[in-house]
Amino acid sequence: MRRGFTMIELVFVIVILGILASIAIPRLAASRDDARAVSLKQDIGTMTQAIPAWYQGQRQVSIEDAISIDTTLWQRTNPADLDYTYNDGAGTIRAALCAAPINSVAANVILGTNCTPLSAGVGNTSMADNDTTFTADPGAEPWLVIQLNPAPSGVVRMLVRDMNVTNQTVPMAGRRVQWN
């Protein structure tokens, strides 16, 4: 009497495992993207609330001190600038601290190419730990600009299409903290 499996039995088992894997792997990848999108949405929400509150309390323009930012997701675009970028391989999200005239009410005034990020040490009086006391221009104020550039696929597209996250411009001077 022979013990063990025949070649046909082994092939059937391998085929069944392949079918199960072809179903499970895309679902796991989609779950990972969903979790990443939720995490990014929370990051953006935290930025729009915490950074202006930090500025009001400390009079310093700082992303790092206002929130605990995940540097594995958010990369500093330029070490001298006060902005971060998330890139999913297709789309991008940019969180930048920019200067704009105080009377700039329209969001498109500082969105796009008009948003030049504040630079560490330029026009500032305090630079300890990359904190920036905003004193560049008495006729200007710091703004937090969140720009989403979605691609045909990816996590940023999911944020825009499914979660209704939009570009945001948040003035920091004179903004009241909103309590939920």
pTM for the model: 0.69
pLDDT at 151: 87
Consecutive H or E run containing 66 = helix 63-66
Convert the pLDDT of each residue in 89-127 to its tens digit.
889 998 888 877 555 554 444 554 456 666 654 444 343
pLDDT at 69: 81
- Mean pLDDT check: name the lowest of 16-20, 22-26, 99-103: 99-103
Residue given tokens 């085929």 in the structure block: 15
Residue given tokens 């944020």 in the structure block: 159
- Mean pLDDT check: name the lowest of 41-50, 57-66, 130-139: 130-139
Share of the chain above pLDDT 70, in %: 71
Residues 6+ apart with CB under 8 A from 155: 33, 36, 37, 40, 88, 91
Q: Which residues is 165 bridged to in the sheet?
A: none
Please give the backbone phi and psi of residue 54, each rounded to the nearest 5 degrees, phi first: -65, -45
Residues 6+ apart with CB under 8 A from 98: 110, 115, 116, 117, 118, 142, 143, 144, 145
Cα 39 to Cα 47: distance, rounded to the nearest angstrom? 12
**Which pair of structure tokens corresponds to residue 6?**
């025949």
Angle at 173 between CA 94 and CA 75, to 5 degrees: 20
